[in-house]
Structure 1
Amino acid sequence: MADPGQPRFSADPTNDAVRRKLLQKLSINSKSPALAEMARELLAGRITPREVMTSSSYASALEPGVAQFQEWYGGLSDEQRAEQEELGRAALDRLAGEPETPPARTRRQNPPEGYEDEDFSDRSWLT
């Protein structure tokens, strides 16, 4: 169950947990840093799903996947759509049973051996 201070993504606790887990998985997505950032922002409550969909901030990251989905889904028969819906429900049920993914942690990497860090102490950061 989500902390009381965290944003809720559904009034139904099971749906909320599944959506949160999907966002947690997306937040560690290395293939799309923009989508990972969006997921982290949603999880932190700094943006809402409505803001994501009504702003252009993440449009370039979302548009290719939405277009691909529309093309794929538009080509399915009614029977195939029903089959895909059932597969989707099963996947959500499996996800609901998984433990929560811990938040991604940023780790500082040590520089390679022999690397000399540039000294910025003599620079003015005001001009």
Structure 2
Amino acid sequence: MTDNPLDRDLEEMIGTPQLADAVKRSLQRLKGGAAGPELAEMARELLSGGTDLRSVARTSAYADPISQGIQQYKRWEADLSPDERQRLMGDAQAAIYGDDEQTTESRTTGL
């Protein structure tokens, strides 16, 4: 367990260290401006310890940019073919959990 409040919150909320690390890497990309200035500010605040995940969830300050990002993602995902979606899922699992085919297969099938 880490002393960093964000790391602790991510591990507690998400459940696996690998997925928590992936979320933290995404926050680093957001901090760099990948999704606009509002979410860059949010990521900077989270990563610096200026706020925590629960506070972000309770505030309306980031609600619009987060909602817009979710809608944009849903539109993008809806345009994917089933094969593209499956490939991306496999790529994401490999990036998060490693290239262990058996582990990836059991996560995909639940076996």
TM-score bracket for this pair, using the shorter chain length? 0.5 to 0.7
Number of corresponding residues:
92
**Partner of 1:90 in structure 2?**
94
Structure having the larger proportion of residues in helix: 2
Q: Over the residues paired in the alignment, what is the CA RMSD in angstroms?
A: 2.8
> Deviation digits for residues 73-117 of structure 1, max 9, x if unmatched?
2233433321221122234358xxxxxxxxxxxxxxxxxxxxxxx
What is the TM-score normalised by the length of structure 1?
0.55
Matches within 5 A, 1:1-127: 3-7=2-6, 8=8, 9-10=10-11, 11-29=15-33, 32-43=36-47, 44=49, 46-48=51-53, 50-92=54-96
How far off is 1:51 after superposition?
Answer: 4.3
Contact residue 34 and residue 61 of structure 1 kept, 8 A? yes
CA contact (8 A) 1:6 1:45 kept: no
Compare CA radii of gyration and give the structure with the larger one. 1
Measure the CA separation in 1 of the matches of 2:88 and 2:35. 25
Where does structure 1 lack aligned partners over 5 or more consecutive residues? 95-127
Amino acid across the alignment from 1:58: Y
Runs of at least 5 residues in structure 2 that lack an aligned partner in the other structure: 99-111
What is the TM-score when the length of structure 2 is the normalising length?
0.61
Percent of pairs with identical residues: 32
Residue 55 to residue 68, structure 1, CA distance change in 2 (3 Å) = same
Helix, strand or coil for the counterpart of 1:88? helix
